[in-house]
């Protein structure tokens, strides 16, 4: 075939159109953009961010969750739509740990019209006055796995590298490895090559601040209205038995507590558990909540976190972690509280 200039022009035009369409879509295909647009016409939604499948499943099965059978798969996640009480909700599962929780929460807030975020799941318990099966709702969250690991020989009086730049700080406090030495007879017990770790705040870039102008955050408060609403679900009755024979020693309860903390660390160590409890007064310890708190802080979206205690973070028996026994009980209790909390939000909405 002989190609005329006219053919060539048409082909070029076609190519430009194809490229244009791709560029306009960015990473979000036109098809997904259409679904998102359609979903947002029914917004705003309460976003429910959930770490794992075993925590998501009891909510999907709960009689007071109504699925609309509408889902949007995107970027390795699935956004599921439904109704609890009179609130329209979007459910999304994050996967384990801080990075997954952060990415998923940011996607949720970027793509959809969200009035607030409720995060729930199971957690370890650092607070000796609480029990497995209890559902905790902390007022503050921190991320305690951002560390400055100090060189051997330096101590609390030595300035950290880049401290004068404002990159690192000694304000939050330290973990001193020598304090955890055991069975020492011949050698000094106040000396350890692992030296000290200084806890660091996260850099945050709020949506209403100047781009690239960092601020710092360590303790992030949950939304004060949500926290007041949470206090109204404290008298909720929770399940205390796995089956007809296996029951918890103490009847589980819903409690608002001062603080929780997260890290990209599965905590199963009694010494560290008791250290962070005495240092920070934290009750639940988990691997996702603080990410969500930090993203919601930056995006200025109200949030609350509901975590059911499923293990003692290493403080239980020496033989094993309790998590494999009580996971389903704790996940169910968390879901019970989440459903009631969202119903209370709906009730408040009706009063306005």
Which spans of this chain sit near ligand NAG (rule: CB under 6 A)? 63-64, 67-69, 174, 176, 179, 182-183, 242-246, 325
Report DSSP state, residue 178.
G
Beta-carbon neighbour count of residue 241 at 10 Å?
12
Q: How near is the Cβ of 111 to ligand NAG at its closest, in Å?
A: 22
SS3 327: helix
CA distance 187 to 250: 44
Q: Are 50 and 62 in contact (CB under 8 A)?
A: no
Determine the 3-state secondary structure of 253 from DSSP: coil
- Between 82 and 102, whose beta carbon lies closer to ligand NAG? 82
The nearer residue to ligand NAG, 68 or 110, going by C-beta atoms, is: 68
Quickly tell me which residue has 């950290």 as its tokens: 160
Choose between 109 and 330: whose C-beta lies nearer to ligand NAG.
330
Using the minimum distance from each CB to ligand NAG, give the nearer residue, 68 or 232.
Answer: 68
Closest CB to ligand NAG among residues 276, 292? 276
Q: Answer yes or no: are the C-beta atoms of 92 and 278 closer than 8 Å.
A: no
In the complex, what is the shortest distance from the CB of residue 19 to ligand NAG, in angstroms, rounded to a whole number? 39
Which residue, 26 or 63, is less far from ligand NAG as judged by CB?
63
C-alpha 147: how far from chain center = 19
The nearer residue to ligand NAG, 85 or 124, going by C-beta atoms, is 85
CA dihedral (315, 316, 320, 322) positive or negative = negative
Shortest distance in whole angstroms from residue 282 CB to ligand NAG: 15
**In angstroms, what is the minimal distance from the CB of 173 to ligand NAG?**
7
| Minimum distance from residue 146 beta carbon to ligand NAG (Å) | 17
Residue 92 Cβ, how far from ligand NAG at the closest point, in Å?
Answer: 18
Q: Are 160 and 119 in contact (CB under 8 A)?
A: no
Nearest alpha-carbon partner for 227 in 309, 133, 140, 126: 140
The neighbour count for residue 11, using CB atoms within 10 Å, is 11
How many whole angstroms separate alpha carbon 349 and alpha carbon 344? 9
**CA 78, CA 300: separation in Å to the nearest integer?**
24
CB 69 → ligand NAG: shortest distance, Å? 4
CB of 161 to ligand NAG, least distance (A): 20
Paired residues of 259 in beta bridges: 140, 282
CB atoms within 10 A of CB 131: 17
| Nearest to ligand NAG of 55, 288 (CB atom) | 55
């Amino acid at each position: 075939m002989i190609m005329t200039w006219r053919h060539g022009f048409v082909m070029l035009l076609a190519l430009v159109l194809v490229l244009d369409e791709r560029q306009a879509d960015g990473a979000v295909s036109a098809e997904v953009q259409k679904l998102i647009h359609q979903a947002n016409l029914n917004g705003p939604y309460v976003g429910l961010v959930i770490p794992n499948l075993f925590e998501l499943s009891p909510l999907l099965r709960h009689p007071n969750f109504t699925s609309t059978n509408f889902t949007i798969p995107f970027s390795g996640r699935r956004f599921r739509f439904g109704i609890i009480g009179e609130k329209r909700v979007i459910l999304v599962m994050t996967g384990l740990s801080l990075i997954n929780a952060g990415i998923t929460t940011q996607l949720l807030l970027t793509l959809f019209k969200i009035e607030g975020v409720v995060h729930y799941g199971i957690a370890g318990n650092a607070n000796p006055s609480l029990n497995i099966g209890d559902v905790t709702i902390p007022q503050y969250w921190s991320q305690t796995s951002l560390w400055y690991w100090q060189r051997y020989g330096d101590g609390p009086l030595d300035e950290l590298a880049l401290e004068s730049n404002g990159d690192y700080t000694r304000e939050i406090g330290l973990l001193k490895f020598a304090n955890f030495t055991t069975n020492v007879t011949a050698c000094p017990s106040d000396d350890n090559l692992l030296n000290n770790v200084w806890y660091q705040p996260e850099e945050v870039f709020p949506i209403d601040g100047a781009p690239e102008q960092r601020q710092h955050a360590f303790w992030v408060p949950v939304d004060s209205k949500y926290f007041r609403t949470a206090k109204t679900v404290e008298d909720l009755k929770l399940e205390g038995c796995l089956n007809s024979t296996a029951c918890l020693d103490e009847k589980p309860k819903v409690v608002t507590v001062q603080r929780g903390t997260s890290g990209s660390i599965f905590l199963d160590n009694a010494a560290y558990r008791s250290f962070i409890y005495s240092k920070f007064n934290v009750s639940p310890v988990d691997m996702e909540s603080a990410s969500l708190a930090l993203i919601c802080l930056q995006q200025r979206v109200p949030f609350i976190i509901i975590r059911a205690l499923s293990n003692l973070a290493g403080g239980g028996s020496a033989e094993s972690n309790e998590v494999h026994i009580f996971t389903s009980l704790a996940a169910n209790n968390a879901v019970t509280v989440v459903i009631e909390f969202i119903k209370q939000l709906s009730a408040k909405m009706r009063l306005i």
